[in-house]
A and B are shown apart, each in its own frame.
Chain A
Amino acid sequence: MAMADEHPVRKPNKPFYFNTSENLLRIGRQKATNVSELWQALQTCPDDSIFQHTFRTLQEHHFIRQGFSNDFAHWCLSACNEPVLAEQLASVDVREFTDIEGLRRRMVGIVNEFLQQHPQSGTKPAHEPFYFCAASIVVLPTQFAPDTLPGFVDGLRHVSLHSIHHHFIEARLRLHQMSNDFSNWLEQEVGLTQAAESIERIDIYTNTMEGVRHQIATIVEQALN
């Protein structure tokens, strides 16, 4: 939780424009029927496929607090019965990456290392194939564009979870920074540096998205008070 910032809170220079993103799922051409094929397809599938199965799946499953980090990990466990690989893939935090290519390399590396150690697992057929999909994204405005901190908290509490995901998780791919829209705005426009850092440290993998929303709002309210 945020401690009292050293600098006084200032009126924001610019409003925070709450946007949201909506996604349409495309079925890709690639599929994997075993771990070896997964490894191959991970190297060649489009960027927006990696995005769909890592970033966007967190929005699709925003209500799950445990046991679901990304689609690749889930498939390795549920369809391939490879818990070791599943855990290793699940440990990847998408927020460590500011571009898809880095995330892809990490995933490919994990699977490659697993296959080196367990070559017999590579061709074991999965219960069901993994279908690579991709998201077509449309960004939309919302009615919330607060220029005060109380207004920002109000917006936080009323926007959709898609909006929270858009600003908190997807933002780093837009910004190419290890940060998110909320923290950026709080730090740059309002001077709440510690609150910004506290928000950035929220663990999305042990919280539901609703829980993340609540934590962000609480951090800002505490900083306000």
Chain B
Amino acid sequence: MKTEEQRATIADSAAGLPTEAQAAENRGGIVSPHAIPAEPGRAKTRPLPASVLTPPPPAPSPRLDDYRDIIGQAQVDALRFLARDLKGKSIKMVNSTAVGGGVAEMLNRLVPLLSELEVPTHWDVITGGNDFFEVTKAFHNALHGSSYELTKSAQEIFLMYNEQNRERLQFEEEMVVIHDPQPVGLIRSRDKTPAGWVWRCHIDLSNPDARVWEFLRPFVEQYDAAIFSSQSFARQLPIPQYLFYPCIDPLSEKNKELPDSVVQKVCDDFGIDRSRPIVTQVSRFDRLKDPVGVVHGYKLAKKYVDCQLVLAGGGASDDPEGAVVLQEVKEAAGNDPDIIILDLPPWCAFEINAIQRASTIVVQKSLKEGFGLTVTEALWKGKPTIAGAVGGIPNQIIHQLTGVLVHSVEGCAFQIRYLLTHPDFAKRIGASGREHVKENFLMTTNVKRWLLLFRILEEAKARGTAR
């Protein structure tokens, strides 16, 4: 979240927006706190409208029946039937942060929906000092493959805070779900409760630092089950491992339906011309998202087809590396007036929604990716989507059926040309992409998976086959 100082900086910049004449000359002043003077041959970020300069108030949580028009009454009924046998039984979810990040965002929706289905779900957050979170951040990077020297001190800090939280928290529910490695040590409480314990891993464990994994593995193996977001993220474990794809909420600001007039206004605010094809990538300014590659791909395609490129990202304001990548993008974009670079604050979900909906094609040319929820968002909006064949993206994009997968700048360029010149095919894969999301990657499917898992664990307990 932005500090007050940063928000003030953005607001001040907005107040100092160039005049209309200057804007016409420059094709946009620079509002980002990392604004640089205009230079010949270097693109600029578009000015941000005042509406995005402060975070909007949080929207109320939807109720289950609000999803009826999306998933159908039959699927709503299935959720109620699934929950029926679990009524009165409760769940505890534990993670490391109440705000910020995908897990908290997901739990904000999941917990009320489960509780509405009369499966009371309680959400606890572990506490810890800066030393604990530094250690767990280092663990996070190491589990993603970075090299790390696992010291005795780090282990002791990790264990100490897990023990403190274990003593503080109560575990009276029938199912306890521990999210990610930070609280994994809480499993030491399992013998005090009859609950089924589940470890939900949201990160990519396909190539972890061996020492960190060997330190954490004995905890994980004590759980009744583990959950991963992709088959490739899983490890060889002596416990059942389930596949829960990440999901989007179709009723959130990022994904809800928008009237065309609203989409038009957002495009007008950002200077995006809807009368011409729009190719969009929504991502942090991060080299792993390859925004420079997208610019090159666009330029190759532009030799054959007319289009605009929108790079809507963020992170340049609060990430030094992001600022560097943004400059690289601007240099690659050069003077092309059809390349629109938007450095957005993190709360612009509504604007992102509108930009995605206005787009003719969405690109996610990642070089490395977790699951890739920006792809899910684009597919949900029925947009023909071109994406790098990395991480969890191939789970979402079945090549030429629900989108197209690419492996290079040239491949991306060709697919842009092809989709813009074959609108029927583009429409077909866009429609299939949406159905794929509807079947597999919506919040309601996530609710269903949790209910199914809870039932399976309860049945195992009843049979006496639980661990």
Contact = CB atoms under 8 A, between A and B. Distances in A.
Interface of A: 20, 22-27, 29, 31, 60-64, 67-68, 74, 78, 127-129, 131, 133, 136, 138, 140-143, 158-160, 162-163
B200 interface: no
A136 B73 CA distance: 23
Interface-centre pick from A23, A26, A60 (highest chain B CB count, 10 A): A26
Given A25-B243, A26-B243, A27-B243, A140 B82 contact: yes
Given A63-B436, A128-B232, 8 more contacts: A26-B241, A60-B439, A63-B431, A78-B399, A133-B231, A162-B74, A162-B75, A163-B74
A158 B74 contact: yes
24 contacts: A22-B82, A22-B448, A23-B452, A24-B242, A26-B241, A26-B243, A27-B228, A27-B234, A27-B241, A60-B439, A61-B439, A62-B439, A63-B432, A64-B401, A78-B398, A131-B232, A131-B234, A136-B452, A138-B82, A140-B78, A142-B77, A142-B78, A142-B81, A162-B74
B439 A142 contact: no
Contacts of B16: none
Contacts of A78: 398-399
Nearest to A163: B74
B75 to A, nearest CB: 6
B240 A26 contact: yes
Contacts of B456: 24, 136, 138
A220 to B, nearest CB: 19
A22 B452 contact: yes
Interface string B432-460: 10011001100000001100110110000
Interface in B394-437: 394, 398-402, 431-432, 435-436
A43 to B, nearest CB: 20
A129 B232 CA distance: 8
Contacts of A131: 231-232, 234
A173 to B, nearest CB: 20
The 10 closest A-B pairs by CB, nearest first: A131-B231, A63-B435, A160-B74, A25-B243, A24-B452, A27-B241, A140-B81, A27-B234, A27-B231, A159-B74
Interface of B: 72-75, 77-78, 81-82, 228, 231-232, 234, 236, 240-243, 389, 394, 398-402, 431-432, 435-436, 439-440, 448-449, 452-453, 455-456
A68 B452 CA distance: 27
Given A25-B242, A27-B234, A133-B231, A61 B452 contact: no
A63 B241 CA distance: 27
Contacts of A143: 77
Contact of A138 (B236, B398, B452): B452
B75 A160 contact: yes
Contacts of B78: 20, 22, 140, 142, 160, 162
Nearest to B79: A22
B403 to A, nearest CB: 12
Contact of B81 (A67, A136, A141, A158): A141
Contacts of A27: 228, 231, 234, 241-243
Contacts of B431: 63
B452 A160 contact: no
B155 to A, nearest CB: 28
Contacts of A26: 240-243
Residue of B73, B232, B401 most packed against chain A (CB within 10 A): B401
Contacts of B242: 24-27
Given A27-B241, A129-B232, A67 B75 contact: no
B85 to A, nearest CB: 10
B401 A133 contact: no
B397 to A, nearest CB: 11
A68 B398 contact: yes
B73 A63 contact: no
A160 B72 contact: yes
A23 B439 CA distance: 12
A129 B233 CA distance: 12
A151 B81 CA distance: 21
A78 B72 CA distance: 33
Nearest to A132: B231
A60 B402 CA distance: 13
A61 B243 contact: no
Which of B231, B232, B241 gathers most chain A CB within 10 Å?
A: B231
Nearest to B400: A67
A64 B400 contact: no
Contacts of B232: 128-129, 131
Nearest to A137: B452
B383 to A, nearest CB: 16
Contacts of B402: 64
Contacts of A68: 398, 401
B236 A63 contact: no
A159 B73 CA distance: 8
Contacts of A163: 74
B274 to A, nearest CB: 28
A22 B73 CA distance: 15
Contacts of A67: 400-401
A141 B242 CA distance: 24
Contacts of A63: 431-432, 435-436, 439
B138 to A, nearest CB: 27
A179 B234 CA distance: 38
Contact of B74 (A29, A31, A142): A142
A24 B394 CA distance: 20
Given A24-B452, A133-B243, A61 B82 contact: no
Contacts of B234: 27, 131
